[in-house]
Structure 1
Amino acid sequence: MSPLSLAGLGGPELLIILAIVLLMFGGTRLAGLGKSTGRAIREFKEETKNLHPDPKAVGNAEQKPAADEVKGTAEVHDAEIVDPENKKDH
């Protein structure tokens, strides 16, 4: 099932919409609009490819377990015990 059939748009409806858009914008302006839209889509796709590294390269990267990176834990020397139920000021 195509997305257009979900909206109830078939061939005749699309032709009517195209004719209305052509009358509103004109042929030359519509061509320029299509060209700029295509350019924007192409640039968007190129930029999204640059955001995501190659999946094969990511899989080959050396990964260390998180436990190896932990050097130790912090030691608490002085701590104050606070009772949240006790509303007195210290």
Structure 2
Amino acid sequence: MGSDQMNVFFELTWPREFSISKGITRDGVIDNLAVKIPADFMDDIAIAWIKKRKLQVAVGGPVGNECGSPDCPLGVRVLFLPLNPLK
């Protein structure tokens, strides 16, 4: 990712598979660009992005110094289980 706060840059090094498609207007302007990558690779990118931007609260995770948060001074990671697990 670049250091520019307003943009995100993807660099895929040695991707296993990919495809790129684009939509072009009549004026020859690209109006969309799609990159297809394996879902598990996108999962890795998404998790890294959430950690880098400290967006855990947006996806229901711990924040601040709570146990399980990346900012927790104890470095403790907690596994959260449902209160009434399905049998």
Range into which the TM-score falls when normalised by the shorter chain = under 0.3
Structure with the greater alpha carbon radius of gyration:
1
Structure 1 or 2: more helix by fraction: 1
Task: Name the TM-score, length of structure 1 as normaliser.
Answer: 0.22
Structure 1 or 2: more strand by fraction: 2
Using CA pairs under 8 Å that are at least 6 residues apart, name the structure with larger relative contact order, 1 or 2. 2
Task: Name the TM-score, length of structure 2 as normaliser.
Answer: 0.22
